[in-house]
Amino acid sequence: MSASFNAARGAALRDPFTAFVCDDATADLLRPVAVEHGWSPEKVNKGGLRNAVQTLSVSASPSILFVDLSESGDPLSDINALAEVCEPGTVVIAAGQVNDVRLYRDLVASGIQDYLLKPFTADQLRDAFANAQLTISGPRLADNAAEKPNVTAAVVGVRGGIGASTLASSLAWLMGDKGGRSTALLDLDVHFGTGALGLDLEPGRGLTDAIENPSRIDGLFIERAMVRANDKLCVLSAEAPLNQSVLNDGSAYFQLQEEIRHAFEGTVIDMPRLMMVQFPHLVSDVNVIVIVVDFTLAATRDAIRVLSWLKANAGQARVVVVANKVMSGIQEVSRKDFEHSIERKIDIVLPADPKAAMQAAKLGQPLAKAAKSSKLTQPLAQLLTLTLEQAGHQEEQGEAKSAAGGGSLLGKLGNFKALVAKKPKEATAQAA
């Protein structure tokens, strides 16, 4: 039950439309519009959301489902109950009498396509149905992902409060807006993550559901769980209750990364450093690891340790060291001493710009978007370039291997057939 589902999957095997309304006026408005779309007016039922849950628990879900929430005492909770019985691929349009922006956002975050405030007009209803049909006929994220190979970047701060999450959201936004890639931002800080908060989004329950039930993780789950920030960027984040412990072996996080890699052209993982060390397999397939530091003694010590750990556990990844919130002339450790200690150069320096950071927080936008004209623009663009360059290098290496046939079983079989097809003498001469 989500606007991002590929509802065309199996649509021919289900009813195109069903509605459950609470009053005659809504039913009388729905029926002629349903007929206009070629749907049976008998599919407009009375009983509202309660009847919808009861009916769909024992019958197949339609492609488009209209539910009236007017009689619901707790619309969000009831919509979640509907989700339990609603098959994947169903586009849900809700209507109700509560005029509350937060309710609307919560309902959309839970997976419904649209919420119509009663009383609504026939034209509003037609528009809602048109958008639903576009969703059904539109391509899946995974289909788009075939156009470009996925590039995955993990952003890790060597210290808390160093700005890694801010940098992760900016990189994800740039990857979609400037890089032209469908991008997922995965925030793995289940209790204190700011991936959704920084973009003025409700995090939803997708990430916590995945951790609690890893067996549910698949392509459809990803499409349902992701919260869309814009046409190119989706977010998977959480704000789990502090009394909810999260105990797992990391398999759920790894499954999420794998499914997201198949569904999107770009992935940015906001990865807590403790989680990276605890579950090293989470960085075993990433293309780029962005290490965020500042010029302090503690960050120097931890940068040395993290870089050493990455050499042993993520040798395939390009490591980019970013110094964040750098103030000219006011440093606990000089850049020269810092680079000497970590035995490598700083790749990118982001100057401190508290005004831009404050503006981004107020607007609920990534720093890269809110501070387009600030001194942060160029180094952030450089970070995007370094990230996408790595993807290009790995793609070229993959094509070279394919051309050489080195790693291809079919290529080896082809060479073997060619050798067998030759006469014994010719084969011997060539071998010599």
| CB atoms near residue 38 (< 10 Å) | 8
How is residue 338 written in tokens? 């810092």
Tokens read off for 116: 């119509």
Q: Over its length of 432 residues, how does the chain's per-residue pLDDT go in tens digits?
A: 543 333 333 344 578 899 999 999 999 999 999 998 889 899 999 888 888 888 888 888 888 999 998 888 888 888 888 888 887 778 899 898 888 777 777 787 777 888 888 889 998 898 888 888 877 764 444 444 446 788 999 999 999 999 999 999 999 999 999 999 999 999 999 989 999 898 988 887 888 888 888 877 887 778 778 888 888 999 999 888 888 777 777 888 888 898 899 889 999 999 999 999 999 999 988 999 999 999 999 999 999 999 999 999 999 999 999 999 998 878 899 999 999 999 999 999 999 988 888 888 888 888 888 877 778 889 999 999 999 987 666 556 555 554 555 444 334 334 433 433 444 444 444 444
- Both 181 and 200 in a single domain? yes
Model-level pTM?
Answer: 0.62
Contacts of 418 (CB under 8 A, 6+ apart): none
Residues 153 and 66 reside in one and the same domain: no
> Which residues are within 8 A (CB) of 202 and not within 5 positions of it... i.e. 6 or more apart?
105, 106, 109, 196, 227
Is residue 169, in this structure, part of any structural domain at all?
A: yes
Distance CA 131, CA 116 (A): 13
Are 20 and 84 members of one domain?
Answer: yes
CB 262: neighbour CB atoms within 10 A?
Answer: 14
| 266 lies in the same domain as 337 | yes
* Domain of residue 95, residue span: 11-138
Pick the last residue of a domain from 115, 138, 161: 138
**Same domain membership, residue 101 and residue 71:** yes
**b/e burial code for range 370-381 (CB count within 10 A of at least 16 → b):** bbeebebeebbe
Q: What is the CATH number of the domain that holds 115?
A: 3.40.50.2300
Q: Are 167 and 322 in contact (CB under 8 A)?
A: yes
- Considering its fold, how many domains does the chain have in total? 2
Among 87, 120, 138, identify where a domain stops: 138
User: CA-CA-CA-CA torsion for 267, 309, 379, 229, nearest 10 degrees?
Assistant: 20
Report how far residue 130's alpha carbon sits from residue 264's, in angstroms, rounded to the nearest whole number: 26
